[in-house]
Structure 1
Amino acid sequence: MATQEPFTLRWGILATGWIASVFAKDLLTSTSAPGRNATDVRHIIQAVGASSSQQKATDFIKKIGAPESTTAYGSYDELVNDPNVDIIYVATPHSHHFAHTLLALNAGKHVLCEKPFTVNAAQTKILIEKAREKGVFMMEAVWTRFFPLSYEIRKLVQDGTIGEVRRVWSDLSLAQNPEETYGPGDEHRMVNRDLAGGALLDIGVYSLLWIWQTLYHLDPARPKPEVSASVQKYRTGVDAEATVLLHFPTSTGIASTSLRIDTDPNNTGLPCARIQGTKGEIQISHPAYKPESYTIVIKGEEEKRVEKKIEGQHGMAWEADECARCIRDGKKESEVMGLEESLAMMEVLDRVREIGGVKYPDSIETTQV
């Protein structure tokens, strides 16, 4: 019996910043690497688009070690209109996700867009409608959802290992001393209001991730929670700290994030999240975006620690593999990270910002391009 050739997906990388380089390097890793288990798919970086010059794209291609045959473009328009590109990875700041994803969708391209999908839910809804109109695949790049560790934890919860889950607590706080680190001009994207800065939309989504994939994703009813929040602002008007309380029908989620304090100040192994059930809990290692172990704690039993080290890649290849398989199988969205789920999360983020009085300029909140 002949061996079936792997499905090939040709990528266009939109933007040339740090996150784009990390993702692109992961695309270039072997699909047969330990823990990858993706020999059924194959990825090609077909083209790279820079916003200002072709040389910038060329330099990026050299930096990541992509083949010399990779096409370099000096504009995003050229990139999305390349007929040899199947899917666009949108890696610009999230203040620009809406416009750049819409650009790719209008060109008929599949899209993987970095998190958070957009700045607000209204923008996300328009993108979903456009993707469905064009009949293309689209997904928010919440990479942690596709870790083998995440699959295992979701399965443990589904199997009732810790009983009925009643509460999930999660935190991602990284003390960055923002007044000094990002001052005095306050132009850094983390605190820049014009770039939709703040802790919530950047690192806070990872705190919410562990609540969302447990209390929302695993519930067939997909209940939308009531939202309470406490937000402390930075001097630019963005949030520096936020604590979010999500009220689900039979459970509660508590998510927190901060630019001024640390989840694990001395790296002593404090968990970033605790999924608490009637029989015990699952403790997830810090940091929330890239945990490499978890501990199962059952009342009256010995604790069990499970190591899931990420080898051979940064951890973004698994989401790329998901895109390839979905497109190969004719799916327009992922069952692991569906579009309505992304929209529901954006609605939560909108509500937290509303409570905290965090508003961005109309130029980036707009649904017009």
Structure 2
Amino acid sequence: MAPIRVGLIGLNTNVYDGGNIRAGTWGVVHLTSISKSPHYKLVALCNSTAEKARKSIEHHKLDPATKAYGSVDELARDPDVDLIVVCVHVDKHYALAKTALENKKSVFSEFPLSNSYPEVEELVELAKQGGVKTIVGAQARGDLALRKVKNLVDSKAIGDVVSSSWVAHLPRSTWDGLPEAVKFFLDLEGGPSRINVGLGHSLEPFTHVLGEFKDIQTVFKTHGKTTRLFDDTGNVVDPAYKVTAPEYILIQGVLNSGAVASITLRCTSDSADEAGHRWIISGTEGELQFTIPAGNFIQIQGHLSEAKVLLKRWKGETEEVDFKRNEPAHVSSVTGDVINTARLYESFATGDEDGYPSFESARKVHHLIDRMKKVAVWAP
């Protein structure tokens, strides 16, 4: 089978080192996933100018035949491109994905799709009308432990789900300041805010496993109203940047299934709990627990040794569940930050629709976030 021909938007000469993400650095994660897979071939790069795209091609030592574009319109009209990858700042996701969809190209867009729910709905409808396949970079969907949780719930290993409790910690405290490059994380209406990114990446596997909320209540709290911003050298560039995104998020409600559920997220510098994410799902015949160590981001946690899934049947002992799978070498050989993205690419190429989120999957998360904001009670 011929490889899927990819046009990548957003890869520049910055290097991703596993730390703070700057413009273009996450594109390296996509480049690694694409270049190692036999299912894909990178045929074009698109940046703000064709010259920048050419410099990126040279910097990453790509095939000289790789096309360089400075316009998404030109990229989307290229008949030799099957899949367009949107890996830029969130505020540009909607416009770039829309152009690709209007030209009947498959799209892999990073998450979130937009900060506007109506724009998300528009993208979903465009994909449906054009019969176009889509992927969203909500990388937790690729995590093997979370896929096992889904399998156990679907197979009724704990009977019918009665309740769910998810307690999450995000190592993104603002009390000591933040790099200016990630200030958007602090803006409630910013695309990559603590709600959209910090919480949204947890909501995707939650809704995939348990479904959507029928009724919901939300409480937000921002403890630090302002914070310092630093440049790359550590100098303070803004001593009192206004913080509008909540540091503490509490959600509870009733799911469409009738089960009750709660989700809490706290953004502090460290965690007293050894688990950064602790998800307990209780059923009529038992209980499941998923955990990953503190300090991990759920979407890029990829080391099998770090996650644990426990199964407790009411009439049996608690057992640790083995969730390992045999994966092809081009997936298993990549690093922890890359592997879940590589898994999404692999699932898309092999037709494993449960292994990657689509725009419709992401719509459910965006809808939930939109509802949360509308009903939220702000604690003083």
- Equivalence for 1:367: none
Q: Which residue number corresponds to residue 43 of structure 1?
A: 40
Q: 1:363 aligns to what? A: none
Mapped pair 1:54 → 2:50: yes
TM-score when scaled to structure 1? 0.77
Q: Percent identity?
A: 20
> 1:117, CA displacement in angstroms?
2.2
Distance 1:228 1:61, change over 3 A: farther
Per the alignment, residue 37 of structure 1 pairs with: none
Q: In the alignment, which residue of structure 1 is the partner of 2:206?
A: 211
The CA deviation at 1:229 is: 0.8
1:242 aligns with 2:242: no
What is the distance in 2 between the residues matched to 1:45 and 1:109?
15
**Residues 334, 59 of structure 1: CA spacing in aligned structure 2 closer, same or farther, 3 A cutoff?**
farther
Mapping 1:163-242, distance limit 5 Å: 163-182=159-178, 188-192=183-187, 195-216=190-211, 224-233=213-222, 235-242=242-249
Please give the per-residue CA displacement for 1:150-182, whole angstroms capped at 9, x wherever unaligned.
332212112222222222222442233325432
**In structure 2, how many angstroms separate the alpha carbons of the residues matched to 1:62 and 1:168?**
50
Q: Aligned residue for 2:290?
A: 284
Does residue 344 (structure 1) correspond to residue 364 (structure 2)? The answer is yes
CA distance in 2, matches of 1:236, 1:55: 37
What residue in structure 2 maps to residue 26 of structure 1?
33
The residue identity in structure 2 corresponding to 1:354 is K
- Does the 8 Å contact 2:109/2:136 carry over to 1? yes
Shift of 1:301: 0.7
Contact conserved, 1:170 with 1:207, CA < 8 A, in 2?
no
Query: What is residue 94 of structure 1 aligned with on the other side?
Result: 90
Aligned match for 1:295, one of 296, 304, 309: 309
In structure 2, relative to structure 1, the CA distance for the partners of 1:193 and 1:304 (3 Å cut) is: closer
- Tell me the TM-score normalized by structure 2: 0.75
Partner of 2:155: 159
For the Cα contact (< 8 Å) 2:165–2:280, is it kept in 1?
yes
- The residue identity in structure 1 corresponding to 2:290 is I
Change (3 A) 1:28 1:352: same
Question: Contact 1:224–1:344 (CA<8 Å) still a contact in 2?
Answer: no
The whole-number CA distance in structure 2 between the counterparts of 1:282 and 1:14 is 40
Q: Does the 8 A contact of 2:123 with 2:359 survive in 1?
A: no
Residue in structure 2 matched with residue 311 of structure 1 by the alignment: 332
SS in 2 for 1:303: strand
Q: Report deviation, 1:79.
A: 2.4
Matches for 1:67-82 after TM superposition, within 5 Å? 67-82=63-78
Amino acid at match of 2:129: E
Superposed CA RMSD: 3.0
- Whether 1:121 and 2:117 are equivalent positions in the alignment is yes
Q: 1: CA distance between counterparts of 2:60 and 2:250? A: 37
Q: Secondary structure at the match of 1:117?
A: coil
The residue that corresponds to 1:36 in the other structure is none
Change (3 A) 1:28 1:307: same
C-alpha deviations, 1:321-364, integer Å up to 9, x for none?
Answer: 333345xx9xxx87963544432321111011223489xxxxxx
Q: Which runs of 5+ in 2 are unaligned?
A: 12-23, 226-241, 326-330
**Are the aligned partners of 1:232 and 1:356 in contact in 2 as well (CA < 8 Å)?**
no
CA distance in 2: counterparts of 1:9 and 1:297, whole angstroms:
39
Closer, same or farther: CA 191–12 of 1 in aligned 2, 3 Å: same
Whole-Å Cα distance in 2 between the matches of residues 345 and 304 of structure 1?
A: 29
Deviation at 1:64, TM superposition (A): 4.8
Residues 172/81 of structure 1: CA separation in 2 closer, same or farther (3 Å cut): farther
Query: CA separation of 1:79/1:259 partners in 2, compared to 1, >3 Å: closer, same or farther?
Result: farther
Q: Aligned residue for 2:260? A: 252
Kept in 1, the 8 Å contact 2:207–2:364? The answer is no
CA separation of 1:69/1:201 partners in 2, compared to 1, >3 Å: closer, same or farther? Answer: same
CA distance in 2, matches of 1:65, 1:167: 51
Distance (whole Å) between structure 2 residues aligned to residue 143 and residue 187 of structure 1: 20
Alpha-carbon shift at residue 212 of structure 1 (Å): 1.0
CA distance in structure 2 between the aligned counterparts of 1:66 and 1:275, rounded to whole angstroms: 46
**Aligned equivalents of 2:276, 2:187: Cα separation in 1:** 30
CA-CA distance at 1:59 after TM superposition: 4.1
Contact 1:117-1:124 at 8 Å conserved across structures? yes
CA contact (8 A) 1:228 1:245 kept: yes
Structure 1: gaps spanning 5 or more residues: 1-5, 32-41, 217-222, 359-369
Indicate yes or no: 2:341 matched with 1:321: no
